[in-house]
Amino acid sequence: MYTKKAPWQHRDTGLTIRMIVSFAVLTILYLVFLSVLAYVGLGAIPIALIAGMMILAQWYFSDRIVLWSSGAKVVTREQFPELHDLVELIVARNNLPKPRIAVINTKMPNAFATGKSKKSSVVAVTTGLMEMLDNEELEGVVAHELSHIKNRDVLVLTLASLFSTIAWYMMQFGMYGGMYGGGYGGRNRDNGGGMALVLLVAVITWFVSFLIIRAISRYREFVADRDGAMMTGKPVKLANALLKISGTMKRIPTQDLRQVEGMNAFFIVPAISGSSFTALFSTHPPVEQRVKKLMEMEASMS
Amino acid sequence: MLFSLSSGYITLETKLGLKVTGRCALTFKGVSGTYFYEMEQDVKRFLDSLNPEFDLAYRIVTDSYGYVWIILEGKRIEDLLAGLTAVGDTVEEKGFSDQILAAVFEFSSERQGGYQYLIYNYKRNNFYPFVPAGQKDRSTEQEMQIMAAVGDEMPFEKDMTRWYPMWDLPLRSRG
């Protein structure tokens, strides 16, 4: 009974998978598109320009894409006065510009930040998050998101994905450029094998850079935890919030040890922990690790 | 294992202001039978024999779950730890090691008021915190503070889903 996951965790896993799959499909499409451009004989410079424009567009529209796809609505002070107060308090104390505030109407507790610059940024929270957390915990989460903005993490991650494109691009034209039957202008009608190989290598390159981006992202989460905790001065509140959001808090037992001892062989059941496989793909480090680091901060503060 | 507390308690005091109250206990599941009765008599004889040198008082209580509690009171943590370890050894020698559930150490908090506990789980051979807050509530926040303070210094249960509470501890008055 203790190994069961809270219902939201299934939803969260589903969402993560959906996002990974859609991101992967989009990226593969993008690579296929560039490969086709190369195959039909477009030169290196036009392809570079097109790829560059696509990256730029991705960055430029990132906040709108994120807001639109998440269903977040920017809210005014009149609609959510308490949320505005809470954000204003943190930005005032830490000398940050106030971001726009958005709310997503869903029971799933979550929050995110997006934006190209500190001024145009948006912090979004779900209604489920506001219901689940007390004021100080919500402050911790909002401060975490504000740290992402302060640290320009959207830009960092866009740059990271830019590198993956550059890596692909160099490979395409450096190593395998010769396979197109010499010269970019010359058509070769029976090099389907070469094309497949190029695609394969491109996909592998993308995959490796995908893992690197995920690793960077996990690292940025730790940084945002630390900076966010510094902003509020209460690491333990963010730790509490993380435990609530992840459902760990619900799994802290309330049943007496003496009662549990009566249930057969309970202590042999191994603890369920995230496998290294999911850890490799996730954008966020495991909650236990984040809580541990926050509590170390808390211990050093007291 | 229990003796890791002899340095851990100093950390708890300096970092969190938790003071050892001088009360601790060992609990094991009671069973009926001659051997168990003999074991209990041995434990009593042993504790009585300690009296001149060690400054320890003891009580034996059986709770509503049918668990037997050997409750020790003393001023020095070293005496308490030695006493509990010896009681544990006696229980084990008589063949009741599987019955031993936990050792409990009581702390008082100047900052929060009330009592906070470290529970030593004999099945897992590690400590975990228990901070009751009201009847059936606990302060996870304070428990996490305790883990942060001594989690790396002592054998500690890092998996919070195994932090089973022990409500209505008989360490004070009752019985």
A45 or A74: which carries more pLDDT confidence? A74
What the block records as the tokens of A129 is: 């998050």
pLDDT tens-digit series, residues A108-140: 898 988 877 777 789 999 999 999 999 999 999
Q: Which residues contact A65 (CB under 8 A, 6 or more apart)?
A: A58
Dihedrals phi, psi of A50, to nearest 5 degrees? -65, -45
Q: Which of A254, A256, A267 sits opposite B124 (nearest CB)?
A: A267
**Poorest-pLDDT segment among A43-57, A111-125, B114-128:** A43-57
Is any Cβ of chain A less than 8 angstroms from the Cβ of B19? no
Task: Provide the percentage of residues in chain A whose pLDDT is more than 90.
Answer: 28
Q: What is the pLDDT of residue A88?
A: 96
Give the residue-averaged pLDDT of A284-295. Answer: 86
Question: Any bridge partners for residue B24, and if so which?
Answer: B72, B105
Q: What is the pLDDT of residue A284?
A: 75
* CB neighbourhood size of A261 (10 A): 19
Q: How confident is the model at residue B127 (pLDDT cuts 50, 70, 90)?
A: very high
Residue B107 in this model has a pLDDT that exceeds 60: yes
Flag whether A244 is in a domain. Answer: yes
Residue A63 in this model has a pLDDT that exceeds 50: yes
Residue A94 in this model has a pLDDT that exceeds 90: yes
**What's the number of domains chain A is made of?**
1
Give the residue-averaged pLDDT of A135-156. Answer: 90
CA gap B78, B80 in Å, rounded: 5
Q: Answer for the pair A295, A235: CB distance below 8 angstroms, yes or no.
A: yes
Residue A269 in this model has a pLDDT that exceeds 70: no
Q: Which residues contact B128 (CB under 8 A, 6 or more apart)?
A: B118, B119, B121, B143, B147, B156, B157, B162, B163
Q: Answer for the pair A195, A28: CB distance below 8 angstroms, yes or no.
A: no
pLDDT tens-digit series, residues B46-95: 888 887 777 888 999 999 999 999 999 998 898 999 999 999 999 998 88
Give the residue-averaged pLDDT of A20-36. Answer: 70
* B133 to chain A, closest Cα gap in Å: 12
Is any Cβ of chain A less than 8 angstroms from the Cβ of B167? yes
Where in the sequence numbering do the catalytic residues of A fall?
145
Flag whether A114 is in a domain. Answer: yes
Residue A293 in this model has a pLDDT that exceeds 70: yes
A286 or A78: which carries more pLDDT confidence? A78
Task: Provide the percentage of residues in chain B whose pLDDT is more than 70.
Answer: 98
Flag whether A264 is in a domain. Answer: no
- Give the residue numbers in A contacting B (CB under 8 Å), as ranges: 2, 236, 239-240, 243, 248-249, 251-261, 267, 271, 288, 291-292, 295-296, 298-299, 302
Q: Answer for the pair B101, B88: CB distance below 8 angstroms, yes or no.
A: no
Q: What is the pLDDT of residue A19?
A: 54
Q: What is the pLDDT of residue A281?
A: 62
pLDDT tens-digit series, residues A176-227: 544 444 444 444 555 566 667 766 776 777 777 778 778 888 888 999 999 9
Q: Answer for the pair B171, B23: CB distance below 8 angstroms, yes or no.
A: yes
What the block records as the tokens of A301 is: 């503060």
CB–CB of B161 and A302 under 8 A?
Answer: no
- The DSSP result for A247-271, as a single string, is THHHHS--S-HHHHHHSTTGGGSPP
Flag whether A210 is in a domain. Answer: yes
pTM of this prediction? 0.73
DSSP B32: -
The structural domains of chain B, ordered by start, are 2-162 (3.30.70.600)
* CB neighbourhood size of A250 (10 A): 14
A226 or A13: which carries more pLDDT confidence? A226
> Sheet holding A73-74: strands in order across?
A73-74, A100-104, A122-126, A111-114
Residue A268 in this model has a pLDDT that exceeds 50: no
- Which residues of chain B make contact with A292, given a CB cutoff of 8 A? 148
- Complex-level ipTM beyond the 0.85 threshold: yes
Q: What is the pLDDT of residue A17?
A: 60
Residues A110, A115, A119, A125: what is their CA dihedral angle, to the nearest 10 degrees? -10
Q: What is the pLDDT of residue B56?
A: 86
Q: What is the pLDDT of residue B32?
A: 84
Flag whether A166 is in a domain. Answer: yes
pLDDT tens-digit series, residues B138-164: 999 899 999 988 988 999 998 888 899
Q: Which of A253, A254, A298 sits opposite B145 (nearest CB)?
A: A298
Measured between CA atoms, the residue of chain A closest to residue B129 is A252
- Which residues of chain A make contact with B26, given a CB cutoff of 8 A? none
Q: Which of B136, B148, B163 sits opposite A299 (nearest CB)?
A: B148
**Poorest-pLDDT segment among A60-74, A229-243, B112-126, B150-164:** A60-74
Q: Answer for the pair B157, B127: CB distance below 8 angstroms, yes or no.
A: yes
* CB neighbourhood size of A90 (10 A): 20
Flag whether A161 is in a domain. Answer: yes
Flag whether A2 is in a domain. Answer: no
Residue A55 in this model has a pLDDT that exceeds 80: no
A89 or A281: which carries more pLDDT confidence? A89
- Which residues of chain B make contact with A2, given a CB cutoff of 8 A? 161
Q: What is the pLDDT of residue A279?
A: 59
Closest by Cα among B57, B56, B63, B53 to B174 = B63
Give the residue-averaged pLDDT of B25-29. Answer: 94
- Which residues of chain A make contact with B160, given a CB cutoff of 8 A? 243, 248, 251-252
* A32 to chain B, closest Cα gap in Å: 45
CB–CB of A257 and B148 under 8 A?
Answer: no
Flag whether A167 is in a domain. Answer: yes
Give the residue-averaged pLDDT of A136-156. Answer: 89
Q: How confident is the model at residue A231 (pLDDT cuts 50, 70, 90)?
A: very high
Expressed as residue numbers, the domain containing A89 is 7-180+189-252+272-301
Q: Are strands A122-126 and A100-104 parallel, antiparallel or unpaired?
A: parallel
Q: List all residues of chain B from 57 to 76 with a beta carbon under 8 Å from chain A.
A: 63, 65, 67
* A254 to chain B, closest Cα gap in Å: 6
Query: Is residue A301 within a helix (H) or strand (E), and if so which, with residue range?
Result: helix A287-301
CB–CB of A249 and B140 under 8 A?
Answer: yes
Tally the C-alpha atoms within 13 A of residue B143's C-alpha that lie toward its C-beta: 29
Q: What is the pLDDT of residue A192?
A: 61
- Which residues of chain B make contact with A298, given a CB cutoff of 8 A? 144-145, 148
